[in-house]
Amino acid sequence: MSYKFTKEELSKLLFDYNSLKDVLPTYKPSKVYIWDETLRDGEQSPAVFLTLDEKIHLSKLLDEAGVKLIAVGFPAVSKSQKDIVRALMKEKHDNASILAIARPKKEDIDACIDSDAKEIVIFMPISDFFMKLLKLDEEKELSIIEEAIICAKDHGLKVNWVSEDCTRAKLDHIFNVFNTAIDTGADRIIIGDTVGVLTPYSTKFLVNQIMENVIRKNKNKADIGIHCHDDFGLATCNTIVGVFEGCVYPHTCVNGYGERAGNAALEEVVLILERNGIDTGIKMDKLMELSEITEKYFNQPLALNKAIVGRYAFSHESGLHIAGILAHPLSYEPINPKIIGRRRKFYLGKGSGSHSIINAIKEKIKVLDLDIPDEIIKKIVAAVKAAHEESSKEDVQKSFQIIKKELDNISKGVSDKDFFKIVNKYAQPYVPDEFKPKKKN
């Protein structure tokens, strides 16, 4: 299709502030390595449960897409978790390393070793609040971290250290924790914004401080990553700022899934970084397939207006917008949907104009060069808008409530009734006789 403007003309007409000198840091990395948490943190989304086959399929898709690191589970939690991690370790992955998760405990590390892990993630909360909760002081915590990393390294494991709740810890302790981890042999260190409290400004400040007092101090012996949660809707934004300031291992989840409000969305992080000249190693035409299959396995529907992969992300109804798109898609789309394996859609409704209707006639009826009188066009436009506006709002709302109810059904965990039924089954021998139901004669 030919457009009104050429690429050369557009480059002069559309100004890009991101390209201005000194807007983005000159030291931002040219390449990053995506560390994906969909199979670990993503599966911790309420009511989500993945089968082994689903985990294998998703890990293969992530690998094919170019993800560098895939966190898959916590072997110490249960025998079934250990078996799942072991099964994933045996699968062939051409691009990605598979990560097993552990607390800084020998039994957790042993469980990772038993699951055939070659690379491990050791995590621990480091804020004063959690230290008090765990009855630790700073010196004891540093000792635990050191012992755990030495234990993992002695068994030949590659070690990633994650400072959980890092963004609510004191700076001096953050530096001490990360320096201890690197001195003891950690290959990567990760900033954990566990409850999503950072803003872009505080992310910039914190990453700069850690780069200066840890990474450069240790002569870049270890790489740094960032793990952001979306409690205030800033996970993707903070992750991007973290990368611009030096974090080369951004953590993501497909579709932004994860605990509570979720994590930084893989597709958003990748598209923003690539658009700003940072190589993510991701095959972007795989993103839509990955999104759709993950949504299917998670049984967690995406918002229609979800960025990049939402149904309406490349859809247009406004007559002005459609007219602009027909002049050139960049008028109202920042990227070509084909890049991620999508197609744009035009919706006819109350906001559609004459240009939209004419385009629909050409596309839907395939009648080109039709000479339609103005008065007929006006009648068609009026009829299309009326058909949309006159549709029963009551019927739409009924359908919406049915959908909401079904969503509640698929997202339920164990009900109180089922919980107490299970408790009753196993706890009966320990219930005092006076509380047991009396047997009928």
Predicted confidence pLDDT, tens digits, the chain (441 residues):
567 777 788 888 888 899 899 899 988 999 999 999 999 999 988 889 999 999 999 999 999 999 999 999 999 999 999 999 999 999 999 999 999 999 999 999 999 999 999 999 999 999 999 999 999 999 999 999 999 999 999 999 999 999 999 999 999 999 999 999 999 999 999 999 999 999 999 999 999 999 999 999 999 999 999 999 999 999 999 999 999 999 999 999 999 999 999 999 999 999 999 999 999 999 999 999 999 999 999 999 999 899 999 888 877 665 555 556 666 666 666 788 888 888 777 665 555 555 555 555 555 544 445 566 667 766 766 676 666 666 666 777 788 788 778 777 776 666 666 767 777 777 777 767 665 666 665
Q: Residue 372 has what pLDDT? A: 65
Burial of 131-164, coded b for 16+ CB within 10 Å and e otherwise, reads beeeebebeebbebbbebbebbbeeebbbbbbbb
Contact 167, 193 (CB under 8 A): yes
Distance CA 255, CA 306 (A): 8
In three-state secondary structure terms, 435 is helix
Q: Residue 368 has what pLDDT? A: 45
Distance CA 289, CA 283 (A): 11
Contact 243, 256 (CB under 8 A): no
For residue 118, how far is the Cα from the chain centroid?
24
Model pTM score = 0.84
Contact 327, 355 (CB under 8 A): no
- Structural element, H or E, at residue 380: helix 374-389
Ranges of each domain in the chain:
27-298, 314-441
Fold of 314-441: H-NS DNA Binding Protein (4.10.430)
Q: How would you classify the pairing of strands 119-125 and 158-164?
A: parallel
DSSP conformation class of 307: T
- Exposed, middle or buried, 373 (CB in 10 Å: 0-12/13-18/19+)? exposed
In three-state secondary structure terms, 175 is helix
Which spans in 92-160 are helix H?
Answer: 106-114, 128-133, 138-154
Contact 207, 242 (CB under 8 A): yes
**Beta-carbon neighbour count of residue 387 at 10 Å?**
12
Angle between helices 235-244 and 200-210 in degrees, nearest 10: 40
Q: Residue 362 has what pLDDT? A: 53
Q: Residue 400 has what pLDDT? A: 75
Q: How many residues are given for the chain?
A: 441
CATH 3.20.20.70 fits 27-298, yes or no: yes
Query: Six-digit token pair at 407?
Result: 């969503």
In three-state secondary structure terms, 99 is strand
Cα 147 to Cα 109, 112, 177, 178, distances in angstroms:
11, 16, 13, 14
Query: Six-digit token pair at 124?
Result: 């621990």
Rounded to 5°, angle at Cα 140 from 137 and 145: 120
